[in-house]
Structure 1
Amino acid sequence: MTYKITSSAQVNALAALRIINKDAATVQQQVSSGYRVETAADDATYWSFASVMRSDSNSLQNIHDALGVGASKVDTAYTSMDSLIDQLGEIRKTLLTAKEAGVDKTKLNTSLSELKGQLQTTVQSTSIAGENWLLNRDATLPTSRSVIGGFVRGASGEYQMQTIDFPADQTVMIDMTDANRGLLTKTVDANTLNSDGTATARNYYLLSAGSTTPATGTEIKLDGNTTSAQVDDMIAVVDSLLSTLTETAAGLGTMSARIGDRVAYTADMSDLIDKGVGALVDTDMDETATLQKALLAQQQMGIQTISILNTAASKVLLLLQ
């Protein structure tokens, strides 16, 4: 004869254990994945918010990278111009030395030629991301140099990049097509005052870089026949070049600072968005670990309860045999 015993206690204990096992599996998944809301099924609202915020974070990261490239271009041009200023300063010192009585101007010209060669090397080596702002080889000079300098929100809420433009004619130091478009190769009027107070236009240029259309006037160089008045003219030209170059470098420095501010701001915004996403969907490991321990204890208690009930039921069966 077969006896069937139905125990409400056993049924309730099994139901409770199933719920505990389900909760334990959910908590284990949260611990393993690191997400409290991993899919839309977990929480459609939070998942939707987090997805939009992740998209914003990715857009900001792209802008941050573009800003980094732009900053590198500006910083490279600025660093080279800063070096050119130092080298022009050395050229000026050499010319001042040439005014001293008894100096060998031919030997000084050797130093002058080396310094001019350094200028040309500095300009030609200033290249990053395929661009050299200081050297122009094209027949037509670009209107401006553009870099990513910021971002705004579009009408639909999307991020849009903004550019910063810098006049190209201010950054070109050497122009291989037309020498007069390059600061270091163009003709400069010394405008030296004569003894009677009148000004005489004397044209000089610093570098001869082999431009298709060369500069007019006299190249700045020394020899045994160079007069003190000519040296004064050359110094006046170098002073003019230094003034213009310093002003351009200052403009690039301001541009670099502006981009640097946007780079820092973009990084901060991206971090804040990532923190916001984490608050919405990430697992709180401390809380979840405590909950996991509690569920493990409940599982053990549920198993023990079912074991006790099964033992009691088996004793009843023995009595009925």
Structure 2
Amino acid sequence: MTSIMTNQAAMTALQSLTNTNRTLSQTQSRISTGYRVSSAEDNAAYWSIATTMKSDRGALSTIKDALGLGAATIDVAYTGMNSAIDVTKEIKNKLIAARQPGVDRQKVQSEITELQNQLKSISDSSVFSGENWLSVDSGAATFNVTKTMIASFSRSGGEVSVGTISIDIDSVKLFDADDQSGILDTEDTTENSAEAYSVFNLDISEYTDTDNDLADLEQMIGFVDQAIGSMTTAASNLGAIKQRTKLQADFVSALMVAIDQGVGALVDADMNEESTKLQALQVQQQLGIQALSIANQNSQMVLSLFR
């Protein structure tokens, strides 16, 4: 039946053209944004997962920066420790030279004093971002013997947790202003010691060639050598922590890349597919317009019946 009230062909053509335009608009949006899922209405589940993972990725970026800061702090302490070891070795060499009878020990002591001052300078200068692990004050209200750095971020069952790497300052400190318990300011108070002394304040300027004084010098040499051993162990521990920090930073970087790839697989648009679809939809749009135009012309044909 031909009707001028209801044009079935035009309605069908219009519905088809509307669907084509809607799909074309969606495809153009994907091409312009690069996303297949750019909002919750596109795919609520994928959008929710991607949003959460992007948030976690941002947290990992902060973790990576924190690891870089921690690695720099460790590196400064390690560098200071190595320099202190070299200076302490020089002190031991001076003591060995002073063990020789007839040596002017006052002159040797003047050299040792300068080396001791250098040890203090090295320790006080080993600071990064306000952190000094070599010269501390354990009596300070803000002092914490365990230093921590953020190392990881994880999410499980909706709960988040932050992992840390811990460093015990007691095994690293060279000077402690509160109780003199650092490696270099701890005093030798053994029974064979004539008087209490530390690597930092030992003084041989008054020592003579008597058997007791020579024995004290030998004990002093052994005490300084023990300090070098403790410092070497501390430097090894710092080196191990630094290596762990580097490995963790590499892992975090790899994890960030994996998250980016996972999120991309969920929400990124396949540009090859979308560009091919765009061309097809443009052709469908043109054909839909022509079909609607033809359908609208059918009503005009009714006029020929009344001529």
Given the two structures, how large is their TM-score scaled by the length of structure 1?
0.75
In the alignment, the residues of structure 2 paired with residue 301 and residue 119 of structure 1 have an alpha-carbon distance, to the nearest angstrom, of: 87
Q: Counterpart of 1:88?
A: 88
- The question of whether the paired residues in 2 share the 8 Å contact of 1:27 and 1:292 is answered with yes
Q: Which amino acid aligns with 2:89?
A: G
Q: Which amino acid aligns with 2:72?
A: S
Query: Cα deviation per residue 1:175-219 (whole Å; 9 max; x = unaligned)?
Result: 22333x122122125x7xxxxxxx9324432224xxxxxxxxxx2
In the alignment, the residues of structure 1 paired with residue 112 and residue 57 of structure 2 have an alpha-carbon distance, to the nearest angstrom, of: 54
Q: Which amino acid aligns with 1:35?
A: Y
Q: Which amino acid aligns with 1:72?
A: A
In the alignment, the residues of structure 1 paired with residue 97 and residue 301 of structure 2 have an alpha-carbon distance, to the nearest angstrom, of: 117
Structure ranking higher on relative contact order (CA contacts 8 Å, 6+ apart):
2
SS in structure 2 at match of 1:205: coil
Q: Tell me, yes or no, if structure 1 residue 122 matches structure 2 residue 108.
A: no
Cα displacement (A) at 1:304: 5.2
Correspondence for 2:245 among 256, 259, 263: 259
Query: Cα deviation per residue 1:4-56 (whole Å; 9 max; x = unaligned)?
Result: 69865555444333322222211121122222112221111212222333343
Q: Which amino acid aligns with 1:134?
A: L
Cα displacement (A) at 1:124: 0.7
Q: Tell me, yes or no, if structure 1 residue 38 matches structure 2 residue 47.
A: no
Question: Once the two structures are aligned, what percentage of the paired residues are identical?
Answer: 34
In the alignment, the residues of structure 1 paired with residue 243 and residue 224 of structure 2 have an alpha-carbon distance, to the nearest angstrom, of: 28
Which is worse superposed, 29-38 or 61-70? 61-70
Flag the 1:64–1:319 CA change in 2: closer, same or farther, 3 A: same
Cα displacement (A) at 1:110: 4.5
Q: Counterpart of 1:248?
A: 234
SS in structure 2 at match of 1:159: strand
In the alignment, the residues of structure 1 paired with residue 100 and residue 294 of structure 2 have an alpha-carbon distance, to the nearest angstrom, of: 112
- The question of whether the paired residues in 2 share the 8 Å contact of 1:67 and 1:150 is answered with yes
Gaps of 5+ in 1: 192-198, 209-218
Q: Counterpart of 2:148?
A: 147
Q: Counterpart of 2:193?
A: 201
Q: Counterpart of 2:277?
A: 291
SS in structure 1 at match of 2:128: coil
In the alignment, the residues of structure 1 paired with residue 287 and residue 89 of structure 2 have an alpha-carbon distance, to the nearest angstrom, of: 86
Q: Counterpart of 2:258?
A: 272
Given the two structures, how large is their TM-score scaled by the length of structure 2?
0.77
Flag the 1:113–1:319 CA change in 2: closer, same or farther, 3 A: farther
Gaps of 5+ in 2: none
Which is worse superposed, 128-137 or 144-153? 144-153
- The question of whether the paired residues in 2 share the 8 Å contact of 1:204 and 1:237 is answered with no
In the alignment, the residues of structure 1 paired with residue 85 and residue 162 of structure 2 have an alpha-carbon distance, to the nearest angstrom, of: 33
Q: What's the RMSD between the two structures over aligned residues?
A: 3.7
Q: How does 1:57-76 map to 2 (within 5 A)?
A: 57-76=57-76
